[in-house]
Structure formats: C-alpha cells, structure tokens
Amino acid sequence: MKKWFLSASCRFIFGAFVVVFGVMYVAQTNAISTKGYTMNDIERRIQALKQQNQKLEFEIATHRSMRSIQSRLSNLNLVATDNVKYVTLTGSSVARR
C-alpha cells in the first residue's frame, strides 16, 4: 500500500483531483461574484424606481391640492354657482333583482 501511494499513477490521480477541484472552485467563485454584481444592479434599479415612485406620488398629491384644482379651473372658463338646490327623494322603495 505504501508503495502505491508513492507511485507515479497515484501522484497523477491526486494531481488531477487537485486540478479538477481547483477549476471547479474558480468556476463557482466566478458564478457567485457574477450573481453578486447582478443583485447589486437590481438593488440599484429598485432604489431608482422607489425614488421615481415617490416623485410621482408627490406630483399626484400636488395635482390633487385645492390650489392646483382652482388654478386649473380658471383655465377652463367655469363659473361658480350661487344658488344650490338639493333633491330629496320621497318614498323609500328601492329596486331589487
């Protein structure tokens, strides 16, 4: 057994294992680092989209404000009403299917 461990074929087999596992290690490390860069890029895009979403929500809130609505109404040539009449229904029947 001792003779076999010192033989050239045993050294070749161990050397082949070292080379194969070394290549597999480098390939795995490369794949992991590539996925890390991809994740980092996706996280940056998520942050950019969150900021864009906040800007759009701010614009929506701005356009919903009373000041904004009143300024847009003046451009439409609408007039305010003076006499408002409300309709009251008599009876309590409701249509059903």
Decide if 52 is inside a domain: yes
Decide if 90 is inside a domain: no
Confidence of residue 96 (pLDDT cuts 50, 70, 90): low
Residue 40: give the domain boundaries. Answer: 9-75
In this predicted structure, what is the pLDDT of residue 44?
Answer: 96
**67 pLDDT more than 80:** yes
Per-residue pLDDT tens over the stretch 27-57: 999 999 899 899 999 999 999 999 999 999 9
Decide if 89 is inside a domain: no
- pLDDT higher for 67 or 26? 26
Q: Which H helix or E strand runs over 83? A: none
Domains: count for the chain: 1
In this predicted structure, what is the pLDDT of residue 51?
Answer: 97
Decide if 32 is inside a domain: yes
Cβ proximity of 10 and 4 under 8 Å: yes
Question: Who's near 68: CB < 8 A, 6+ residues apart?
Answer: 62
